[in-house]
Amino acid sequence: MTRTDARPHPGGLADLAGRRVARVGYGAMQLRWAGTDDEPVGVLRRAVELGVDHLDTAEFYGDGVVNRRIRAALAPYDEHLVVVTKVGATPDPGGEHALRLAQKPEELRAQVEDNLRSLGAERLDVVNLRRADVEPGLVAAGDQVVPFDDQLATMTALRDEGKIGAIGLSHVSAEQLRHALGVGVVCVQNAYSLVDRGSEPVLDVCREQGIAWMPYFPLGGGWPGQRQVTDLPAVVEVAGRLGVTPAQVALAWLLAHARETMLIPGTRSVAHLEQNLAAGDVELDAAAMAALEG
């Protein structure tokens, strides 16, 4: 699975943690379903064949199942592949959400060790610290309310020890991102799409600082009551005019809206994977952008 110059770069190239990678990557969370590893391994290997060289995962995706499948499919890892993991929660198979918050410094350190073990890696390329200050999603209470600086100190120590290569953030405000700039943040993951642009101020900081922006829930619908981007009349109209799918229009808009954007759409299907990656080739003209943003 060695990268060659002949391999495609879906969406073009951008910088992530000191490496040039394709702007369209892959979010592996959907690979947590029960069953054999054959289909998930097939999806992952096909993604890499098609030029994907950055993945999003976490130990709490399926209680380590997703990481184990990534290891089965891709280890030993190509030097060009960037695996981005996440800490801030831990598996809770019997719980309401199948995970619980784990925000304390010692818990962050334990999660890094768990990710290293399940991925079979000597170092984690990038680790996103997922904060839990506000809804939507789980909100920290009791001993899970942890000072941000304590967490940043732990992440910096783990980087200094060689456990992680670079630090990212998730579910943060613009103020928190600015506060953390001194530790060398390389990427930010927040919910963001055409139906949820509440993190625009965070994206503005990423633009200003040249930080990779990795929106999750890029098609909307991630939180209860939220609309799907693919149901928006303007998205449907533009898709019909261009001869592509509404989902491809939604992903192409994210790429066009900010050059710092790096996508991590997820899927269980090779066919859907190929459609997602093809969104990197969709060109939205001025009329399409005006219709979508209006």
As annotated, the active-site residues are: 61
Helix (H, G, I), strand (E, B) or coil at 219: coil
Contacts of 221 (CB under 8 A, 6+ apart): 227, 228, 229
How far is it, in rounded angstroms, from Cα 211 to Cα 187?
A: 5
Ramachandran area for residue 51 (φ above 0: left; ψ -120 to 50: alpha; else beta): left
Contact indicator for 80, 21 with CB cutoff of 8 Å: yes
DSSP 23: S
The Cβ of residue 249 has, within 10 Å, a number of other Cβ atoms equal to 27
Instruction: Return the closest-CA partner of residue 247 out of 266, 226, 225, 224.
Output: 266
How far is it, in rounded angstroms, from Cα 167 to Cα 47?
A: 24
DSSP 228: B
Contact indicator for 106, 114 with CB cutoff of 8 Å: no
Single-letter code of the amino acid located at 151: Q
How far is it, in rounded angstroms, from Cα 190 to Cα 170?
A: 6
